[in-house]
Structure 1
Amino acid sequence: MSTLELDHVSRWYGNVVAVNDVSMTIGPGVTGLLGPNGAGKSTLIALMAGFLAPSVGSVTLDGRPLWRNEQIYRDIGLVPEPEALFDYLTGRQFVLANARLHGVPDPGAAAERALAVVEMSDAASRTIATYSKGMRQRVKMASALVHDPSVLLLDEPFNGMDPRQRLHLMELLRRMGGDGRTVLFSSHILEEVEQVARQIEVVVAGRHAASGDFGAIRRLMTDRPNRYVVRSADDRALARALLGDVSVRAVSLRPQGGVEVEATDFGRFSVALPRLARDLGVRLFEVSPTDESLESVFSYLVAS
């Protein structure tokens, strides 16, 4: 049972702040690190893997500092997002080399076990240059598992995988978390995290936006104000009617036509809008959400 802890960690590159005052604890089980692209997820994983020094704060594994502590790599397996692979090697040679680097007692047997776990035994004799993106992801996974680490860090591990490969990896991560390993994987796709992890850490623009059970985080996202543009045959009449409904917090007329609506209760609003339009005899031409991107959803969490 291993626990990673970040205590008021910041990391900057010159004038660019990649991670800003982040504190979180990652314990046994599967944790999803969720955030839009560029949020600082890869930097956080590099800090937790001991590859980067925090500019401020501390990163520890079971109380031991990670930076400049080579003994820590006995306990950590890393699946990075970049394709830092040796294409001229076979998959078997690549995983075997990692087993030898870790000083595994029987590197050959360890390599074969790791390849079997990720279902790459049949392709192990082929060179990595011939692998698809999904196969490259799996051979990276095998190299991370070859020394049987207690902590597994994965940066966007589902990228490039076909549906069958994704399902297999999801099941593998759930099984490892159930066995007591500390598994952290990053993703910018909410549905990926939902299917694997119950504990969620959300980061936005280098800041820690939310933490907790997936259900609670999902409710925060779902319950945020929803913004729409509504185009109708009579925008002014519709705007006046919408202002009187309890599901609507704000309404404004757009200079180019249409009504901007901020709704606090999506369920009620979805019923109220067509009812009000019908009662007024106003035709609805368009109802479009304006803030459905991950960036807008996560930015709301930061501001909450």
Structure 2
Amino acid sequence: MTQLVLDNVSRWYGNVVAVNDVSMTIGPGVTGLLGPNGAGKSTLIAMMAGFLAPSAGEVTLGGAQVWRNVGAYRELGLVPEREVSFAYLTGRQFVQASAELHKLGDPRGATQHALEEVDLVDAADRAISTYSKGMRQRAKLAGALVHDPGVLLLDEPFNGVDPRQRMHLMALLTRMGEEGRTVLFSSHILEEVEQIARHVEVVVSGRHAASGDFGAIRRLMTDRPTHYTVRSSDDRRLAAALMGQRSVRGVSLQSPTGTSEVHVEVTDMGDFTRALPTLARDAGITVRELTPTDESLESVFTYLVQS
């Protein structure tokens, strides 16, 4: 069983701390590395892949340090976020170059198999410069898979991928996880992680914010205090009715632009959104607008760090 272990890993650039004292273990199956843009996900993946040395702590693969360990690349495959630098090559040439760098016994056969895995055979002999964003992502993935690695690292693999290609890629990563490979992909989009990752690691501002089963992380996010703005046919009566709800911690009636609105602080988002329609119907009130005021991913993660 191949495991990637990060032990109190930090990385700084001068006075800027990109990753701060992160410890986590990535094992077989699909793991989502979740966090807002700028959270340090790419830096973590670069250290896991051995392309960047930790400033403190260590990253090990199967018990051996990854940094300056050429043998680790037999087990590692990396799909970076940055675009392919050799766009003048065809997809086949790009993947075969990777196969030859790994000194595989049958580079052509391995190349063909990798292209088939990512459904890129039909376009394999076209220059990568003519590929769509999704096709370029698949070419990078084929290059990472050509030596059949046990560990696959992907940095924001779904960026710019159309829905059909996204579904194909998600199915492929799911299958690899089920085969026993260690697959980790980063994303700043909660729904992407929810669809295929059983285990989630959350990072915010270079810190490790949460770790565990996706359902547990989702409950942490769902149960955090949330603020809503509600506009209705009778805001004063609605505000009074909301005060009696168990999931409501605070209610205020405000008139920011001459028209009233109700500001609600909620402790259980799911309970509140289920109860509001029934409460309004029973009181004869029409809810005209319900807007979460702090639903950005950054606010969710900030809450996880502080809780």
- Residues 147-296 of structure 1 mapped to structure 2, 5 A cutoff: 147-232=147-232, 235=235, 238-254=238-254, 256=256, 257-270=260-273, 273=276, 284-296=287-299
Q: Deviations over 1:241-273 (max 9, x none)?
A: 433432211223446253321112334434654
Q: Which amino acid aligns with 1:292?
A: E
Q: Map 1:1-304 onto structure 2 (within 5 A).
A: 1-232=1-232, 235=235, 238-254=238-254, 256=256, 257-270=260-273, 273=276, 284-304=287-307
Distance of aligned partners of 1:171 and 1:245 in 2 relative to their CA distance in 1, 3 Å threshold: closer
Deviation at 1:287, TM superposition (A): 2.4
SS in 2 for 1:183: strand
CA displacement, residues 116-155 of structure 1 (integer Å, 9 cap, x when unaligned):
1111111111111111111100110010011111110001
Code of the residue aligned with 1:138 in structure 2: it is R
- Segments of structure 1 that go 5 or more residues without pairing to the other structure are none
C-alpha separation between the residues in 2 aligned to 1:27 and 1:139?
25
**What is the distance in 2 between the residues matched to 1:255 and 1:79?**
51
CA RMSD of aligned residues (A): 2.1
- 1:211-246 alpha-carbon deviations (Å, 9 max, x no partner): 111111122222222210123566555444433432
Stretch of structure 1 that moved more, 110-119 or 252-261: 252-261
Deviation at 1:281, TM superposition (A): 6.9
TM-score, length basis structure 2: 0.91
Task: Write the distance in 1 (CA, Å) between the matches of 2:252 and 2:224.
Answer: 19
- C-alpha distance 284-56 of structure 1, shift in aligned 2 (>3 A): same
SS of alignment partner, residue 173 of structure 1? helix
Q: Is the Cα contact below 8 Å between 2:114 and 2:143 reproduced in 1?
A: yes
Task: Deviation per CA, 1:6-50: give whole Å up to 9, x if none.
Answer: 111111122222111111000111111111221111111001001
CA distance in 1, matches of 2:229, 2:164: 39
Aligned-residue offset at 1:170: 1.4
Structure 1 residue 172: Cα displacement: 1.3
Listed as ranges, the gaps of 5+ residues in structure 2 are none
Distance 2:180 2:280 in 1: 55
* Pair 149,279 (structure 1): closer, same or farther in 2 beyond 3 Å: closer
Q: Is the 8 A contact 2:75 2:150 kept in 1?
A: yes
Shift, 1:283, TM fit: 6.0
Aligned length: 304
> Which amino acid in the other structure matches residue 9 of structure 2?
V
More divergent stretch after superposition (41-50 vs 229-238): 229-238
State the AA in 2 paired with 1:186.
S
After superposition, give the CA deviation of every residue in 1:64-109 in whole Å (9 maximum; x if it has no partner): 1111222211110000000033111111111111111111112121
